Amino acid sequence: MNTKKLYYWRLLCFVILASLASCNTNNNGDDLSINNGKLKLSFSKENGSLIVFQDLIENYEFLDEKKTLELPWEINFNHAQDSLYEPLDFEYSKPDSLTLVLKWGNFKGEENKEFAVTAVINLDKEKALSYWKISLVGTQGKEINSVVFPKISGFKDLGQEKLAIPNIMGELLTDPRGILSSRKSENKRLDWVYPDNLSLQCLALYNPEKIGLYLASNDTHTFRKAYSLNLDKSNNFTYQMSNYPSFDANSNSYSPSYEAVIGSFKGDWVTAAEQYREWGSQQEWTSKSRFKNGLHPDWLEETALWVWNRGRSDNVLVPAAALKKRLGLPVNVFWHWWHGASYDEGFPEYFPPREGGESFINAMKLAQQKGVHSIVYMNSFQWGDSTESWKTENASVYAVKDINGNLRSHAYNIFTGNSLTNMCMGTQFWKDKYTSLSESAVNIYGTNGVYMDQACMSRVCYDKAHGHAIGGGNYWFKNFGKLTDQIRSKISIEKEPILAGEHCNESWMPYLDLFLTLQVSRERYSGVGQWEVIPFFQAVYHEYAITYGNYSSLVTPPYDELWPKEFAPENQEQPLDPIFNKQFLMEQARSFVWGMQPTISNYHSFLETQRKEEIDYLMSIAKIRYQGLKYLLHGKFLRAPSMQIPEEELDISKLSIYAGRKGESVTAYKKKYPLAYSGAWKADDGNVGIPLTSISEKHMLINFKIDTNDYNISSNGEVYLINSEGRKLLTTYKENEVIVEHQLKPREVCLIEIIPTL
């Protein structure tokens, strides 16, 4: 063999050996990258820090090249002495072209001799998604508060950033990085817990014109976890997911059953919601959804309007029955302050009702004869620690305990200062207690169900005597399911009862019939701020869960008759200043186009004359919605068509709807809002419904175009208009283009139907 051939032969051998070495488990390889043609990830050979996160389609690198090389995980122990130093050993392997295995070991300290951390990161075969899973060994004897993984620092500013989160229903923040940077405190962090304030396991940080980060997890068993974004003093932006193991001194390992999901997308929050829906709609919570499986009574679906009133039956059932007669459609009641105990203080001493058992039962029977159904308030896990029953039933034994053995209490009642204490959902004692209360509400007092306040929240309990895992886990959610099963085994089906809950959550869909989502009225309870309300939850799960409710009210707050008299205001439930009327319209418009059952808070018959235009508008919404239930109740969320909508600066009130007190005044704001609202929903038969409404006193010309491919409907068809005048053909369309032009009358409510030709 001549010298030249020998040279090339040796070079070929070198290439082969180098390639083999890159798949070895030692640190001699050079390839710590994975690439699926859409996404490329590269990790540091020094410590496994992520150093490249690149969208290959858009040719965009998300990470700052100057980022610090921090470990992609962090472990926090219960005791300060249980600490880990930097691992001395780091190994990696590449089992296949889409998978990396990273392993850290040889930690300092004899107590950490067997401790090791392994991370497996792999790329989706078809999508711009990566999956991250962590495992720990050598954990015996250690109490781990949290395992932070992944922890990724150095995300570059995307420019014109927006952050979408499913905080209860959904919220959108513009310029999150700038807002954190402007904080004067050292806390420059945004964080959320699932399941609790987060109803889904997904965040989206994006520039709608450029690129976006999809940040999620694929937990199908509802383990408690947290997500956060943090801006440090060096302006370094970090995303992390915190996992919460249960304390188990005998266990020598921990590995979550789920993965973190991190990906890239181009679009906006709707794009992210559609991607999450593709996964979420395949999970057990949708296949077992009570709504999807028709496990609720017919009257729930038939509800045209909810009246959310408080107090005795003549202040609740009587006006609801009158409203039902006027509307000509089913009106039902969401009832607070019916109970014998003071609100936010005397729970769970609900019985007998404050107006007396006989009066309550007779009023309920009369309302049901008129077709009005009622669900009554009962908090799902709070017990007033100033009540007599707290002592006589030894309730503290079964209450949630924090890591130091303390009770978790909070004084919601600003008038008495008395606290409510969290009861542990994992105890049979509390499940039995709440079941007996629900049984009494339905079987004895004749209600049509229970509204379980704070239902879609969760708590962490460290009481070893309760029989559940200690610390993190999913025992709260699992025991809530057991509770609802137990309740339904005891309550009479003759009353056609339902169980409703506060907030919404994907995992609760097999257990609750109805979800209260109040963010439609976010401004009314938190004022005008930096967050904008979006229907994130409905975009993912509308056809699997019925949502309702808002704080939309036209009067000043009521005051519980059982609270201290000295704080009672003189102008209870009197009409608010009419400058805030348009806020009411805006809240009702949101509910309509976002596919929610309409609700009015603190309704009274005098509003029919004193706030006639606003009540007439609400009646129109209820009537038009009722003609489009296949879209607005059963339909699948679609992106609303793009329209040019004028805005107007509105007067916004921040005022409690149920806690008026002496000297309290409205906090007023001004902010620009759209004067028209729209949505888009696809029915099971393939038709598309576009709810459209104006809150303006002026006529408004609406023009929009739709590409039928965007809605996956046929290229030809007809377009109809449903409004107060009836249903009529508006136009026809062909060649994949729907062109709609409609002159909206002042405060008109309508539904545009697109009927494809089959």
Q: What is the edge-to-edge ordering of all strands in the sheet holding 189-194?
A: 74-77, 144-153, 237-243, 225-231, 189-194
pTM of the model: 0.94
Q: Among residues 163, 154, 156, which one has the least CA distance to residue 240? A: 154
- How many residues comprise the chain? 758
Per-residue burial over 183-211, b = 16 or more CB atoms within 10 Å of its CB, e = otherwise: eeeeebebebbbbbbbbbbbbbbbbbeeb
Q: How many distinct helices (H) and strands (E) make up the chain?
A: 16, 44
Q: Which residues on neighbouring strands pair with residue 135, listed in sequence order?
A: 118
Angle between helices 612-626 and 581-593 (to 10 degrees): 0
- How is residue 3 written in tokens? 């010298």
Domains recognised in the chain with CATH numbers: 24-280 (2.70.98.30)
DSSP 181-192: HT-SSS--EEEE
- The residue whose two tokens read 């999970």 is 283
pLDDT at 697: 97
**Which residues make Cβ contacts (< 8 Å) with residue 128, sequence separation at least 6?**
36, 38, 39, 55, 57, 263, 264, 265
**Sequence letter at residue 400:** V
Residue 518, phi then psi, degrees to nearest 5: -90, 0
Contact 547/515 with Cβ under 8 angstroms?
yes
Cα–Cα distances (Å) from 689 to 351, 361, 519, 678, 711, in that order, read 45, 42, 23, 10, 11
Contact 193/225 with Cβ under 8 angstroms?
yes
**Which residues make Cβ contacts (< 8 Å) with residue 322, sequence separation at least 6?**
605
pLDDT at 232: 85
pLDDT at 108: 86
∠ Cα 504 509 510 (to 5°): 155
Other residues' Cβ atoms within 10 Å of the Cβ of residue 410: 11
pLDDT at 7: 35
Measured CA to CA, the distance from residue 558 to residue 536 in angstroms comes to 32
Burial of 745 (0-12, 13-18, 19+ CB in 10 A): middle
Contact 742/715 with Cβ under 8 angstroms?
no
Measured CA to CA, the distance from residue 758 to residue 739 in angstroms comes to 19
Instruction: Profile the chain (758 residues) by mean pLDDT over runs of 10 residues.
Output: 39 35 43 95 95 97 89 87 76 96 91 92 98 96 93 95 97 96 89 96 97 98 97 88 91 96 98 98 98 98 98 98 98 98 97 98 98 98 98 98 96 95 98 98 98 97 96 96 98 96 97 97 94 98 97 95 93 94 98 98 97 98 98 98 97 88 85 98 98 98 97 97 97 96 97 95
Residue 82, phi then psi, degrees to nearest 5: -85, 85
